[in-house]
């Protein structure tokens, strides 16, 4: 056997780490992710009560102004304050993410639970229908919706939400099948409890942790999708600030004023990193192998 084949993989090394070390890593990642997400949420909440300037006010006399005491991160090619746009853009990003993930969770979770508790043939049929949605990525679906209904924030939210339904449905079905194989559910069935009661009392509470992790990861995907759609012109329409459209508007000045693209790009990166770290931390937090070692 070759020397390369004999070396343990990175995943094996992670799984082989002591539970206490893994808990420490999970806690660190969860803390960093929560801090980054909290920063984005704080910026969005702050934008409701205060911004340095009107984020949509055009001032030709201050076009492409450098950072200063008046404009902390400068202004764009229309003279709009960059800090004000970033703050309101955080509000737009979170709004799209909350609605998109909410649509996916509300529609995908019952579908997955129903597929897991229904007879095998019915469950397989539901999952095959669910798999058809995997052929339509969020960007493609949003472009199709934009062509039919016109580009808007609502179009982006619905498209991202529908494209994320399969992830919630598959996860909910997998968790449901695991819960249904437990002894207490078998006892509940033997006692004649109806399926709806089993789903509400036993299935949903036991898969809530998995769905929370999926929601965090899906939120990161929604942030990227909304930025991409706004960049392409199929998302949030002007004059409402959006991080993706800030990137699109700054590309013409990328060589002369690259910082105009740096700030929204950094905001998108930090938001996506925060939600991904939060999802990884929650996944490790709900890992039964770590729970058993405490």
**Could you report the per-residue pLDDT of 111-139, keeping only the tens digit for each?**
999 999 999 899 999 998 888 888 888 77
Q: Tell me the DSSP string of 244-272.
A: HHHHHHHGGGTTT-THHHHHHHHHHHHHH
- 237: which 2 tokens? 């329409």
Q: Is the pLDDT of residue 180 over 80?
A: yes
Taking the C-alpha atoms of residue 197 and residue 193, their distance in angstroms, rounded to an integer, is 7
pLDDT category at 149 given cuts 50, 70, 90 is confident
Per the listing, tokens 């036991």 go with 206
Which of the two residues, 22 and 4, has the higher pLDDT score? 22
Backbone angles phi, psi at 65, to 5 degrees: -75, 140
pLDDT for 12 equals: 42
- Structural domain contains residue 105: yes
CATH number at residue 112: 1.10.3720.10
Who's near 236: CB < 8 A, 6+ residues apart?
92, 96, 152, 153, 156, 226, 229, 230, 242, 244, 245
Q: Which two tokens stand for residue 231?
A: 């960049």
C-alpha 250/C-alpha 257 separation (Å) is 8
Rounded to whole angstroms, how far apart are CA atoms 163 and 165? 6
The number of distinct structural domains making up the chain is: 1
Residue 157 has pLDDT above 80, yes or no: yes
- What 121-125 contacts at long range (C-beta under 8 Å, 24+ apart), as own/partner pairs, is 123/173
Q: Are 260 and 26 in contact (CB under 8 A)?
A: no
On the 0-12 / 13-18 / 19+ scale of CB atoms within 10 A, 291 is exposed
58 is in which domain, residue-wise? 21-292
The whole-angstrom separation of Cα 43 and Cα 39 is 6
Question: Which pLDDT belongs to residue 26?
Answer: 65
- Give the residue-averaged pLDDT of 141-169: 89
259-265 long-range contacts (CB < 8 A, ≥24 apart) are 259/67, 259/73, 259/74, 260/64, 260/74, 260/76, 260/77, 260/82, 263/73, 263/82, 263/86, 264/85, 264/86, 264/89
Say if 252 falls within a structural domain.
Answer: yes
Task: Let me know if residue 6 belongs to a domain.
Answer: no
- Mean of pLDDT over the chain: 87
* Whether pLDDT at 210 is above 70: yes
Tell me how many degrees the CA angle 239-241-247 measures, rounded to the nearest 5.
110
Taking only the tens place, the pLDDT of each residue in 55-84 is 999 998 999 999 999 999 999 999 999 999
Residue 5 in this model has a pLDDT that exceeds 50: no
> What is the pLDDT at residue 18?
60
Reference 15, options 286, 284, 209; nearest CA is: 284
Determine what percent of the chain is predicted with pLDDT higher than 90: 59
56 assigned to some structural domain: yes
15 domain residue, yes or no: no
Domain annotation covers residue 249: yes
- b (16+ CB within 10 A) / e for 230-260: bbbebbbbeebbbbbbbbbbbeeeeeebeeb
Tell me: the pLDDT tens digits for 191-202? 888 888 999 999
Q: Looking at the domain assignment, is residue 3 inside a domain?
A: no
Binned at pLDDT 50, 70 and 90, residue 23 comes out as: low
Question: Is 74 inside any structural domain?
Answer: yes
In this prediction, residue 3 has a pLDDT band, given cuts at 50, 70 and 90, of very low
């Amino acid at each position: 056997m070759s020397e390369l084949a004999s070396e343990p993989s990175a995943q094996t090394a992670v799984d082989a780490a002591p539970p206490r070390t893994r808990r420490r890593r999970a806690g660190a990642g969860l803390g960093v992710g929560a801090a980054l997400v909290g920063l984005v949420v704080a910026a969005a909440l702050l934008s409701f009560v205060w911004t340095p300037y009107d984020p949509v006010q055009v001032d030709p006399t201050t076009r492409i102004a450098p950072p200063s005491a008046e404009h902390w991160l400068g202004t764009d090619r229309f003279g709009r304050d960059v800090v004000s746009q970033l703050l309101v853009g955080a509000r737009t990003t979170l709004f799209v993410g909350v609605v998109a993930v909410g649509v996916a969770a509300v529609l995908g979770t019952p579908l997955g639970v129903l597929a897991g508790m229904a007879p095998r043939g019915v469950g397989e049929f539901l999952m095959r229908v669910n798999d058809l949605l995997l052929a339509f990525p969020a960007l493609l679906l949003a472009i199709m919706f934009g062509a039919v209904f016109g580009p808007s924030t609502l179009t982006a939210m619905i498209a991202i939400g529908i494209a994320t339904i399969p992830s919630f449905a598959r996860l909910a079905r997998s968790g449901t099948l695991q819960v249904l194989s437990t002894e207490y559910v078998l006892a509940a069935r033997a006692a004649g409890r109806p399926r709806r009661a089993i789903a509400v009392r036993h299935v949903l509470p036991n898969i809530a942790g998995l769905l929370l992790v999926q929601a965090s990861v899906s939120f990161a995907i929604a942030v990227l999708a909304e930025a991409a759609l706004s960049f392409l012109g199929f998302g949030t329409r002007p004059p409402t600030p959006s991080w993706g459209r800030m990137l699109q508007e700054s590309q013409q000045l990328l060589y002369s004023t690259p910082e105009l693209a740096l700030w929204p790009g950094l905001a998108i990166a930090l938001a996506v990193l925060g939600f991904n770290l939060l999802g990884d931390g929650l996944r490790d937090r709900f890992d039964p192998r770590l729970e058993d070692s405490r």
